Homo-oligomer: A and B are copies of this chain.
Amino acid sequence: MNRRLMAFLTLLLGIVPPAFAEGSGSIDSGDTAWMLTSTALVLFMTPGLALFYGGMVRSKNVLGTIMHSVFAMGLVGIHWVVIGYSLSFSKGNSFIGGFSHAFLNGVGVEPMGSIPHLAFVAFQGMFAIITPALITGAFAERMKFRAYVAFVLLWTTVVYAPVCHWVWASDGWLFKLGALDFAGGTVVHMSSGFSALVAAIYIGRRVGYPKDQILPNSLIWTVLGAGMLWFGWFGFNGGSALASGALATLAFVTTQIAAAAAAMAWAFAERIRTGKVTVLGVASGMVAGLVAVTPASGFVGPMAALAIGLAAGVICYWAICLKPRFGYDDSLDVFGVHGVGGTLGALLTGVFASTYWNANGKDGLLLGNFDPLLVQALSVVATAAYAAAATWIILKLIDIAGGVRISQAEEREGLDLTQHGETAYHL
C-alpha cells in the first residue's frame, strides 16, 4: 500500500489518536442523553423551518422554498464535518479556527466536559445547518437553485464559521471580551438576519411586489412549522448548557416563557392596529420570542424572559409593519424577526443577565453594571457589519459567476417547475 492510500484509509476509518484530549471529565449518561436529545431536536427544526417558510409562499414556489431549508441538511451537514467544525472550533487565531479538525481529524468519543466530543460536534453542526436556511426566507420565490447552493457553501465558510469562532471558541475575540450569547443570538440570528436584509436588497423585489396579492399557499404548514420550531428550540437553548441539570432547565423554561409571551404580545399589537388577531401573527410571534430569548436563555430568570418575550412580540411586529416604507422585499421577514429579534435579545441579555441565575454569566444593567451592555452592543455591531458586508460580496461574486436570480418568465412559472421540475400539489 502506498502512502496516499494509507492516509486515505486512516482518515476513512478515523483511526487517528485524538490530537488533544478536550477537557478531562468523564462521560455522564444523563448529560449525554440530554445532549443527544437536544441535537435531534435541533435537527428537527430545519424541516420545521422548511414548513414555516414553505407555507407562506405561493403554491408554485413551495417545494423550492422547502428545498432551501432541507438541502442545507445535506450540504452544510457535510460541510461541517469536512471543514466547518474545524474552522469554527479548532485552535486558530481570535478571528477563525484552523484546519486541525478538518474531516473530524482527531475527534472521537473522548470526554469534553461530561459528554463525548462527537456529541458536541453534532450539536453544533445542527446550528450550522439551520443558520443559512434562515436567510433563505429573504430571497424566497426568486433565487436560482445553483446560486443558492453556492451561497450556502460560501456563507457558511466565510460568515458562519468565523462569527461562531468569535463568540464561542475559547480563543475568539468576542468570547475573550466576555460577550454573552447563550445559544446563538449573534451567531445564529443576527448573522442570518442582517445577511437576509442585504440579500433581499441585493436580489431585488419579486415581480409584482407589492402590487399583486401574494397570498400564502397554506398557513397550516406555517403553524406546524412554528410548532416544530418551538419544540426543537428546547434543544437549541436547553442543549446549549452542554449538560443536563439546573442550567439546561433554566434555559428550557426561559425559552418556553419568552415564546408564549411574544406570541401574545404580537397578537395584542395586531389586535390594536388592525382589529384582528391572525394565525400567522401568533406563529410569527412565537418565533420572534424564541429568537429574542436565545442569547439570554441561560443567563436570565423566568420573569426577565417574560419581559424579553413581550418586547420581542411588539417590536418585531412593528419592524415588519414598517418594512413597506423602505421598499425592499424581505419576503418572509427574516430581518424583521431574526435581525431585529436577535439584536433585541443580545442587548437585553446585557440588561437582564444575573449571576443569581448563572454564576458563569454576568450581572447586567438592571443590577447596575453598564459594561455587559456595552460588550453586547459591540458584538451586535461587529456581527451585523461583518455579516452584511460579507453577504454582499458573496452575492456579487455569484452574480458575476452565473447570476443569482431567475428570469421573469421563470419567476412567473415558479421555482418548483423551473428549478426542480416538480409541482407541489396534484390534488
Contact = CB atoms under 8 A, between A and B. Distances in A.
A279 B66 contact: yes
A120 to B, nearest CB: 9
A121 B260 CA distance: 15
Interface in A230-281: 230-231, 234-235, 238, 243-250, 252-253, 256-257, 259-264, 267, 274, 276-280
Interface stretch (A37-45, A165-173, A399-407): A37-45
Contact of A218 (B261, B306, B425): B425
Interface residues of A, number: 123
Given A36-B234, A356-B13, A246 B116 contact: yes
Contacts of A219: 63, 422, 424
A264 B75 contact: yes
Nearest to A308: B12
Copies in the complex: 3
Contacts of A73: 230, 259-260, 263, 286
A203 to B, nearest CB: 20
Contacts of A420: 276-279
A228 B224 CA distance: 11
Contact of A14 (B244, B301, B426): B301
Contacts of A199: none
Interface stretch (A26-34, A331-339, A370-378): A26-34
A157 interface: no
B250 A425 contact: no
A227 B70 contact: yes
Given A74-B263, A260-B77, A356 B421 contact: no
A426 B78 contact: no
A245 to B, nearest CB: 5
Interface string A403-427: 0000000000000000111111111
A154 B419 CA distance: 45
Nearest to A353: B13
A267 B29 CA distance: 37
A122 interface: yes
Contacts of A300: 13
Given A244-B36, A252-B119, A357-B14, A220 B9 contact: no
A50 interface: yes
A103 interface: yes
Interface of A: 9, 11-15, 27-34, 36-37, 39-41, 43-44, 46-48, 50-51, 54, 58-59, 62-64, 66-67, 70-71, 73-75, 77-78, 81, 103-104, 107, 109, 114-116, 118-119, 121-122, 125, 145, 215-221, 223-224, 226-228, 230-231, 234-235, 238, 243-250, 252-253, 256-257, 259-264, 267, 274, 276-280, 282-283, 285-286, 300-304, 306-307, 352, 354, 356-357, 366-367, 419-427
Closest 4 CB pairs of A and B: A29-B30, A47-B227, A77-B260, A14-B301
